[in-house]
Amino acid sequence: MPIKRFFGLFIFLGFFTQNTSAQDHKIQKLEQLYQQGYYKLVYRKAGRLLMNPAYDNNQDPLKYRQLAAQELAKNPRWAKRHALEVEWAYRQEDSANTTKQTAQQTNAQVQLLLKNAKAQLGVPYKWAGTDPSGFDCSGFTCYVFEQAAIQIPRRAVEQYAYCKPVAPTEACAGDLVFFSNGGEVNHVGLLISAKGAPKQMIHASSSIGISIVDIDVSAYWSARIVGYGRVPRN
């Protein structure tokens, strides 16, 4: 590496490290002041940091300004003077709690889907079957989602149209995977593998019934994938 380029890189890294260290120190100071009960000071300092472009990708000033606003709002006079700020701070907190609850609900639904699906392992294939006496591919996915109080269309091609498309790299347990022999979608399975892991599905095989397949190592199934889809959740 040429000396000038190396020297320039060294200066850049030094500046970046120094800038990051300075940010960390100021955030630590906000934490210290907040723990000591200096809420007005935290509110002002965090506000100044929010105006600094260097903190555009740092969420901590916003967090401490919200926390300070919620404490200061316990004083009716301050809350009246800063009514919009107080409303905004609590709205942000409610939004974060709602997002967390939704994520927990979604995860619980996925676990229920997988439990219901795996409980049917070994059930035979039955054309147009929709219950544990026998399933076809889309009858199986319909049944599993219904057990989780989620309604989806009956046919595989309709399920494909109903789902939100998901990139292969984002597909995960609880998503559907669709297949075709060259025409319209004619088969569907339920993914049971985590995001980024080798793809596995549970499906109604016409030869052996409800079973698990490693899609990535199956030349037959991997060559026929049309795409992945995510069912809208309640």
pLDDT of residue 102: 41
Report d(CA 214, CA 234) in Å as an integer.
29
Is the model more confident about 53 or about 197?
Answer: 197
Is the model more confident about 60 or about 41?
Answer: 41
Pair type for strands 200-205 and 134-135: unpaired
Within 13 Å and on the Cβ side, how many CA atoms surround 90?
Answer: 11
CA 229 to each of CA 6, 45, 76, 160, 190: distance values in angstroms, whole numbers, following the listed order: 48, 46, 50, 7, 10
Q: For 92-135, what is each residue's pLDDT tens digit?
A: 555 445 444 444 446 888 999 999 999 999 999 999 999 999 99
Q: Does residue 14 lie within any of the structural domains?
A: yes
When divided into structural domains, the chain yields a total of: 2
Shared-domain flag, residues 129 and 74: no
Q: 68: Cβ–Cβ under 8 A, 6 or more apart, which residues? A: 34, 39, 40, 42, 43, 46
Is the model more confident about 176 or about 5?
Answer: 176
Shared-domain flag, residues 180 and 220: yes
Q: How far is CA 60 from the centre of its chain?
A: 22
Closest to 168 in 3D by CA, of 121, 106, 85, 230: 230
Q: For 60-94, what is each residue's pLDDT tens digit?
A: 877 788 788 888 888 888 777 766 555 555 555 55
Q: Does residue 181 lie within any of the structural domains?
A: yes
Shared-domain flag, residues 63 and 115: no
Question: Domain boundary residue among 81, 99, 120?
Answer: 81
Domain of residue 114 covers 109-230
Q: How far is CA 135 from the centre of its chain?
A: 31
Q: Which structure tokens are listed for 126?
A: 């039955």
Question: Domain boundary residue among 81, 97, 131?
Answer: 81
Q: Does residue 99 lie within any of the structural domains?
A: no
Shared-domain flag, residues 148 and 209: yes
Shared-domain flag, residues 225 and 115: yes
Angle made by CA atoms 105, 168, 189, in degrees to the nearest 5: 70
Report d(CA 95, CA 88) in Å as an integer.
10
Indicate whether 150 pLDDT > 80: yes
Q: Does residue 215 lie within any of the structural domains?
A: yes
Q: Which structure tokens are listed for 104?
A: 């927990």
pLDDT of residue 95: 46
Q: For 193-226, what is each residue's pLDDT tens digit?
A: 998 999 999 999 999 999 999 999 999 999 999 9
pLDDT of residue 86: 56
Q: Does residue 103 lie within any of the structural domains?
A: no
Shared-domain flag, residues 73 and 117: no
- In the chain, the percentage of residues whose pLDDT exceeds 90 is 47
Q: Does residue 155 lie within any of the structural domains?
A: yes
Question: Domain boundary residue among 61, 81, 101?
Answer: 81
Q: Is the pTM of this model over 0.85?
A: no
